[in-house]
Structure 1
């Protein structure tokens, strides 16, 4: 019987420190392959493999496309590419961002669930928002194990807390406990694999010519547009209370990630309105001055009223922005 020989780890803000501590406590003879996704800007230079190799006994490197899955090694998703696990090998995909990130955690988790089922151990460390929640639910549904960093210990507890909320069997553990639990799981039999064959990942469909037709058949349309491209969003197959929203192009969002992205858009739009109102006020001031020079009293009064209205609108908008109105609208 197979053991839990695939460990997939996701982290975001505050996650590098947690990850290096975790790797430092894993044994040199770990009987599992370890794959890692940390939210990283696409144009950033990642030194994470070097940090992980120095932190513990396991060799670490950025993963290469089509690389085989091998026990006792840590492989990290490079910036700008999603990491997908297939039976016996991995793929790097430059598909649409999910939750605003590429690489994202959900593609790693859900592809591992599809390819390795109950042999998968998914680990969620410090981070923000809800990337990883839907993927972890897929791991749980496939019979795998879900572990999360103790929210009292995590620098940013949202990510592990959201994953724990999504998965009824998630175990919440400190970093030291996580290392021991992972080691134990790699040495005990996993549950029997389900009969369901591996399915194409939505990211692969997004970059294939067949993806559009399949996505058009998914879910109902949401009365919102994608923050990345402005396309209409549809509710795609999510498990239980973990919906996923995907646009025609393939960008994917969790509920909290979508709310946060909408909040950023709202704030940007409000600042644009502030700029337009300031320009309008300046124009009205100049027109008022010209009317005053020509002794056009009625026009001066009309411009004065317009300037007062603009200033009131600006005052309201500045107060809203100062109070974080856009952010609060995103939850």
Structure 2
């Protein structure tokens, strides 16, 4: 049987309209399967497949565990689950987040690259940050084709721009022309098969194995003096790639940009906890001052008033640091 193409589409901010635009002219007789990840909030109820089925001619299905991948259909990742492929079937996993996301574009692209190699066409559309770049790199190294939306036509250009910087992109296409361009690729002869790098194969396994990966991380990279922004564990800097990125021993993965963003979010959360705790401490101290004043213990009350002034100084410094008005 002739092997059909596997079209992998990743998008984030501004990506839903982009996905609809790319798929609008495809029908169920197309000689390809479409696997799509659009970043969503983990607690979101997915209705995107319902919407797309009202707009598109090709059937759209939510990813389900052990669902067979058939040509002429679109498979859509669901919130809070990575979509991976194995032996021609979809697998939904609750594996560690990559670049702060689950589902992650990188996870799907890498998984498909390992299992479908030269049959893969990776397409990266509108989005912030840089999820998808590592996945496109994996597709390229496994013999597939890499495509990005022209950043000038993207509502948010971050993802295609980053991919353009770090990966040898085969095609850069305007959004309105993307569907027709993909149809041309689908009809072309498949490129030659290539060898799957062992590092990519091992990373693809991480999203499906939720357990300590220290031996695997030692193989994939070098331990560095940084902590995982998700679980606090040690990080390894991944080698064998042009893109600076990190993994912890349970599998959380970050680009440098995503790690910095996560650290900033953790720092802000910590500062708010400190601010709230100091305000609560000040209120407790005021109650204690009032209690000792009522009992006539003025010297003890004054000592607690001194502590209140110290706490107020700390609060004021935090207000300045966090730009909180008085």
Quick check: TM above 0.5? yes
SS of the residue 1:220 aligns to: strand
Give a deviation string over 1:278-311, Cα, whole Å, max 9, x none.
12333444455566664857973x6555444433
Q: CA deviation at 1:136?
A: 1.1
Indicate if the aligned counterparts of 1:5 and 1:186 stay in contact, CA closer than 8 A: yes
Give a deviation string over 1:33-81, Cα, whole Å, max 9, x none.
1001112234422112222222222111112333333222111122232
Q: 1:70–1:321: structure 2 CA closer, same or farther, 3 Å change rule?
A: same
1:43-54 matched pairs, under 5 angstroms = 43-54=43-54
Q: Which moved more, 1:55-64 or 1:145-154?
A: 145-154
Residue in 1 aligned with 2:210? Answer: 207
Indicate if the aligned counterparts of 1:27 and 1:183 stay in contact, CA closer than 8 A: no
Indicate if the aligned counterparts of 2:154 and 2:175 stay in contact, CA closer than 8 A: no
Q: 1:319–1:208: structure 2 CA closer, same or farther, 3 Å change rule?
A: closer
| Equivalent of residue 234 in structure 1, options 226, 233, 236 | 236
CA distance in 2, matches of 1:273, 1:152: 43
CA distance in 2, matches of 1:307, 1:208: 47
Residue in 2 aligned with 1:310? Answer: 311
Indicate if the aligned counterparts of 1:39 and 1:102 stay in contact, CA closer than 8 A: yes
In structure 2, runs of 5+ residues without a counterpart are none
| 2:266 corresponds to 1:249 | no
| 2:78 corresponds to 1:71 | no
Residue in 2 aligned with 1:115? Answer: 115
Q: 1:221–1:272: structure 2 CA closer, same or farther, 3 Å change rule?
A: same
Residue in 1 aligned with 2:32? Answer: 32
Indicate if the aligned counterparts of 1:4 and 1:120 stay in contact, CA closer than 8 A: no
1:124-143 matched pairs, under 5 angstroms = 124-143=124-143
Q: 1:11–1:204: structure 2 CA closer, same or farther, 3 Å change rule?
A: closer
Give a deviation string over 1:260-287, Cα, whole Å, max 9, x none.
1111100000001111221233344445
* Count of matched residue positions in the alignment of Structure 1 and Structure 2: 319
Q: 1:7–1:291: structure 2 CA closer, same or farther, 3 Å change rule?
A: same
Indicate if the aligned counterparts of 1:117 and 1:193 stay in contact, CA closer than 8 A: yes
Indicate if the aligned counterparts of 1:136 and 1:146 stay in contact, CA closer than 8 A: yes
Indicate if the aligned counterparts of 1:164 and 1:170 stay in contact, CA closer than 8 A: no
CA distance in 1, matches of 2:62, 2:297: 74
CA distance in 1, matches of 2:142, 2:307: 63
Q: CA deviation at 1:204?
A: 5.1
Q: CA deviation at 1:190?
A: 3.1
Indicate if the aligned counterparts of 1:98 and 1:251 stay in contact, CA closer than 8 A: yes
Residue in 2 aligned with 1:94? Answer: 94
Indicate if the aligned counterparts of 1:4 and 1:187 stay in contact, CA closer than 8 A: no
Indicate if the aligned counterparts of 1:3 and 1:188 stay in contact, CA closer than 8 A: no
Q: CA deviation at 1:108?
A: 0.7
Q: CA deviation at 1:85?
A: 2.5
Q: 1:59–1:4: structure 2 CA closer, same or farther, 3 Å change rule?
A: same
CA distance in 2, matches of 1:273, 1:185: 55
Residue in 1 aligned with 2:144? Answer: 144
